[in-house]
Amino acid sequence: MGEGGVGQEQPPADGAAEATVEARRFCGACGTPRELNALLCRTCADRAAAAVSIANPAISFSSEGAPIASALALYFVFLAGSMIGIIILLSTEDDRLGAPVDLWISVINAVIVLAWTARSWHDTSPGLRRTGGLIWYPLAAVGAIFTFLIASGVVAFVGLITNLPEVRYSDYLLEAGYGWIGVILLVCVQPAIIEELAFRGVILSGMARVMAVGDAIIVSAMMFMIIHLSALSFPHLLLIGLVLGWMRVHTGSLYPGMVLHFVHNGLVVWEEAFGGRWLPW
Amino acid sequence: MTAAVSCPHCAASNPLDAAFCESCGKALPSVAPAGPRVVTAESAPATSAARAMIEDDLRKQMKKASTALLIVAVLQAAFGPVALMVMKAKAEKDAGPGAVMEIEPISYVIVFGLAIAFFGLWLWSRVNPFAAAIVGLVLFVSVHLLDAVADPAQLARGILVKIIVIVMLVQAIKAGLQHRKLREEQTRAGMAVV
């Protein structure tokens, strides 16, 4: 308890002229009349009693805000990597640059994400240490079929109402001589691992430290959606992001999400390879 | 305790840290400037009154997110089509005299879709300002960076508004973190008192 609790009194010091006990009629802190025999009025006494309290360090992005700052920094550095690729491709007429730029940006973004994963190892590693129940892997693969169908539907619908050219992921890589292995590595494996590490690993875990888990899933899914920079893909990207976030939380592991992501992208590549004959549209 | 401050009204002696004279109740000349109340995390919110005061301030700061998001939504809805017209005029100028360029309907979808997205974020911010501010910041900066890649001059247009919006969203995020920390301490303090 601090000084000035109700009922306590300060004895007058010897030899010094000061307001005597009887003459102390007002609270020294706020000037209101105080109770007899009290040094402070009740309100101020309460406040003074709380003088000894937990030291509060200032809120800065170096302490409590660290997960948010780290997540946002990763997002914007990742975005910068993609934008540099876009700028390079926009500034040249050479179509053949598409594949090497894609390769380099994929490598650079992978390094960035791995660096951030290492930096936030405390938050990210639990998702890598756990594998979740075995049932989740076939479930993830089947789930990917559904997400693929929804994504294809949205893309087909957009194609119907606009005359935008269809985006194909494998053609320019094959033309550059990367082969189907290269396509699978760049289109299926790298995004599955790196985007899961980034959005469900670093970002989701970091956000979950400062907000409710449900909110963290939504926020990380929205960031996942926006980073693809394709407004027309927003609907299915958001849906997939929410599913992946939920899987990470529910299974405790990043791996089922990686499987879903890999199979989804794999189905896109499969469809490009074998044509859309097996789809109803 | 030695008295240190002499009251200018009644000449009674008062302790150094007294703000009011204990004899006559009048204000003593203060050392600390009476400026606007600045709430920081250093001030220990130990009493419920002080805590409520700080929470109030933080909530006001978090509300800035709603204001910023609404501003963005309205500006996007109002000036998005204008930006399209400007791009159309520029493209026609580049193409040569007499050229007429079409604005793809999909461009309108994207422009108004973004306005709707920010309206949605505004609505969300009234319930959850913290999360909405984060997503709003991410979307706002991403869209404008992408715009800048397509047309660097665009970045400078309305740069003051853009900076203000970003600052408001960042302040709202910081306030949200402080608010959460306050809540945590309240819970911990509540648990400590048996």
CB contact under 8 A, A17 and B173: no
Q: Residues of A with CB below 8 A from B181's CB?
A: 59, 64
CB contact under 8 A, B22 and A13: no
How far lies A83's CA from each of A80, B132, B148, B150, in Å? 5, 24, 10, 11
Cα-based angle A179, A87, B168 (whole degrees, multiple of 5): 125
Distance CA A234, CA A240 (A): 10
pLDDT reading at B98 higher than 70: yes
CA of A224 to nearest chain B CA: how many angstroms apart?
A: 10
Nearest CA in chain A to B21: A28
Lowest mean pLDDT among A5-9, A37-41, B82-86, B119-123: A5-9
- Of A19, A61, A229, nearest to B13 by CB-CB distance is A19
CB contact under 8 A, A16 and B2: yes
Cα–Cα nearest to B44, from A50, A64, A49: A50
A13 interface with B at CB cutoff 8 Å: yes
Phi and psi of B27, rounded to 5°? -70, 135
Interface with A, mutate which of B177, B180, B185, B188 (most A CBs under 10 A):
B177
CB contact under 8 A, A210 and B15: no
A53 interface with B at CB cutoff 8 Å: yes
Q: Which two tokens stand for residue B156?
A: 């400078």
On whether the CB atoms of residues A49 and A1 are closer than 8 A, the answer is yes
On whether the CB atoms of residues A99 and A181 are closer than 8 A, the answer is no
Q: What is the pLDDT of residue A98?
A: 83
pLDDT reading at A37 higher than 70: no
Tell me if residue A27 falls in helix, strand or coil.
coil
CB contact under 8 A, A83 and B141: no
On whether the CB atoms of residues A207 and B135 are closer than 8 A, the answer is no
CB contact under 8 A, B42 and A219: no
Q: What is the pLDDT of residue A107?
A: 95
Phi and psi of A42, rounded to 5°? -60, -45
How far out from the chain centre does Cα A246 lie?
Answer: 13
What is the helix (H) or strand (E) element at residue B13, kind and residue range?
Answer: strand B13-14
Q: Residues of A with CB below 8 A from B135's CB?
A: 219, 222-223
Q: Which of the two residues, A280 and B136, has the higher pLDDT score?
A: B136
On whether the CB atoms of residues A102 and A173 are closer than 8 A, the answer is yes
Distance CA A51, CA A116 (A): 41
- Give residue B40's identity as a one-letter amino acid code: T
CB-side neighbour CA atoms (13 Å) of A271: 22
Q: How confident is residue A277, by pLDDT bands cut at 50, 70 and 90?
A: low
Q: What is the pLDDT of residue A246?
A: 96
CA of B65 to nearest chain A CA: how many angstroms apart?
A: 15
Q: What is the pLDDT of residue A109?
A: 95
Write the pLDDT tens digit of every residue in A107-138: 999 999 999 999 999 889 999 999 888 999 99
End-to-end CA gap in chain B: 35
Q: What is the pLDDT of residue A136?
A: 94
pLDDT reading at B3 higher than 70: no
On whether the CB atoms of residues A98 and A221 are closer than 8 A, the answer is no
Distance CA A71, CA A81 (A): 15
How far lies A7's CA from each of A4, A19, A36, A45, B45, in Å? 8, 18, 8, 10, 24
Write the pLDDT tens digit of every residue in A39-94: 556 666 555 544 433 333 334 444 567 888 899 999 999 999 999 998 888 888 77
Alpha helices, DSSP H, located in A61-188: 66-90, 98-119, 121-129, 136-161, 171-175, 179-183
End-to-end CA gap in chain A: 76
Distance CA B125, CA B73 (A): 13
- Of A29, A65, A75, nearest to B19 by CB-CB distance is A29
Q: Which residue has the tokens 């009204």?
A: B9
Q: What is the pLDDT of residue A144?
A: 96
Write the pLDDT tens digit of every residue in A203-236: 999 999 989 999 999 999 999 999 998 888 898 9
Q: Write the DSSP assignment of A171-221 as a string of letters.
A: HHHHHTT-HHHHHIIIIIIHIIIIIIIIIIIIIHHHHHTTS-HHHHHHHHH
Distance CA B22, CA B24 (A): 6
Distance CA A82, CA A69 (A): 20
pTM of the model: 0.74
Mean pLDDT of chain A: 81
On whether the CB atoms of residues B64 and B137 are closer than 8 A, the answer is no
pLDDT reading at A5 higher than 50: no
Mean pLDDT confidence for A141-151: 95
A88 interface with B at CB cutoff 8 Å: no
CB contact under 8 A, B44 and A229: no
A3 interface with B at CB cutoff 8 Å: no
Q: What is the pLDDT of residue A12?
A: 45
Surface-to-core class of residue A135, CB atoms within 10 Å of its CB (0-12 exposed, 13-18 middle, 19+ buried) = exposed
pLDDT reading at B179 higher than 70: yes
Longest dimension (CA), chain B: 92
Q: What is the pLDDT of residue A278?
A: 56
Cα-based angle A62, A67, A68 (whole degrees, multiple of 5): 95
Q: What is the pLDDT of residue A230?
A: 85
CA of A106 to nearest chain B CA: how many angstroms apart?
A: 19
CB contact under 8 A, B23 and A24: yes
Q: Which of the two residues, B126 and A10, has the higher pLDDT score?
A: B126
Count of CB pairs separated by less than 8 Å, A with B: 149
CB contact under 8 A, A229 and B142: yes
Q: B12 — alpha (psi -120 to 50), left (phi > 0) or beta? A: beta
- Of B20, B137, B141, nearest to A29 by CB-CB distance is B20
Cα-based angle A171, A173, A179 (whole degrees, multiple of 5): 100
